[in-house]
Amino acid sequence: MKIAFIGLGNMGGGMAANLVKAGHDVRAFDLSADALAAAKEAECKTFTSASEACADAEAVVSMLPNGAIVKAVYESDVLPSTPAGAVLLDCSTIDVATARDVIAAAQGAGYDMVDAPVSGGIAAANGGTLTFMVGGSGDAFARAEPVLNAMGKAVIHAGDAGNGQAAKICNNMLLAVQMIGTAEAFSMADKLGLDAQTFYDISSVSSGQCWSMTSYCPVPGVGPQSPSDNDYQGGFASALMLKDLRLAMEAAEASGAKTPLGKHSQEIYEAFAQDNGALDFSGIIKTL
């Protein structure tokens, strides 16, 4: 299949390479010359504009930094240049309202389109083991699914347009709340003279158990290997968690959802990310 790929950064670079490995003819564009050179190395065909990359495409995948850029790229390049009948997939993490607007514009122009944000970081993008949460019509999902399967281990239909983004920000808001709670519990256990491993042994089989404890423990040396064992390097950067919390709070305000712990988590990560944006989000325990 001829697939245009726009946005070949930390995530998009590996995803485009996996589409090539699956036998697709990938037509890549990025504003960065370095990203384009890496895509060429991975045997993508490279182009000097998004319009040119889309000109002959049967599918378009985008992996871009934010909603304003996604909207601009679809309005100025993708929709005017992509042949009729192509399926469009935006895998970026963006706000729900923009995702719905862009999909409505694409549908108005006669395209099937999904929002398909991912769970999993750079290693999962490179390894083809991302999870995709997909919003869009049943027809659009059915057409997008085989393209996404080449880049991930799970592809889940979350409902109508924008619901992929809704699932992503609800999940990540819960993750932030859960991580802060886990960090607080281990810090208090320490202050009360309770050994971290002993507390883990008890709580991991008791009602406080959660993913942030048993898969991603913020205390070094406790639980399976995680970024805390590497001085909080790698993993999921606090700056990206903060981005998702900001999107979650925008969505909460727009929808009238009450999210007091989500709001407080955003404030906590705002403060932490000022000087520690590149550190893994479990590094929040250092502030307690």
Interface with ligand NAD: number of residues (CB under 6 A): 25
Look at residues 170, 168, 162, 10 and name the one whose alpha carbon lies nearest to residue 99.
162
Any contact of residue 144 with ligand NAD (CB under 6 A)? no
Among 17, 26, 44, 50, binds ligand NAD (CB under 6 A): 50
The span of 25-33, 179-187, 204-212, 215-223 binding ligand NAD (CB under 6 A) equals 25-33
- Distance CA(235)–CA(227), nearest Å, equals 6
Q: Which is nearer to ligand NAD, 7 or 135 (CB)?
A: 7
Candidates 2, 71, 153, 168; catalytic one = 168
The span of 115-123, 140-148, 210-218, 278-286 binding ligand NAD (CB under 6 A) equals 115-123
- Distance CA(245)–CA(239), nearest Å, equals 10
Do the beta carbons of residue 221 and residue 152 sit within 8 Å? no
Q: How far is CA 243 from CA 67, 231, 235, in A?
A: 12, 22, 15
Q: Determine the residue type at 150.
A: A
Any contact of residue 64 with ligand NAD (CB under 6 A)? yes
Do the beta carbons of residue 147 and residue 19 sit within 8 Å? yes
Do the beta carbons of residue 112 and residue 88 sit within 8 Å? yes
The span of 27-35, 189-197, 214-222, 250-258 binding ligand NAD (CB under 6 A) equals 27-35
Any contact of residue 12 with ligand NAD (CB under 6 A)? yes
Binding residues for ligand NAD, rule: CB under 6 A, are: 6-12, 29-32, 35, 50, 63-65, 69, 73, 92-93, 118, 121-122, 240, 243
Q: What positions carry a catalytic annotation?
A: 168
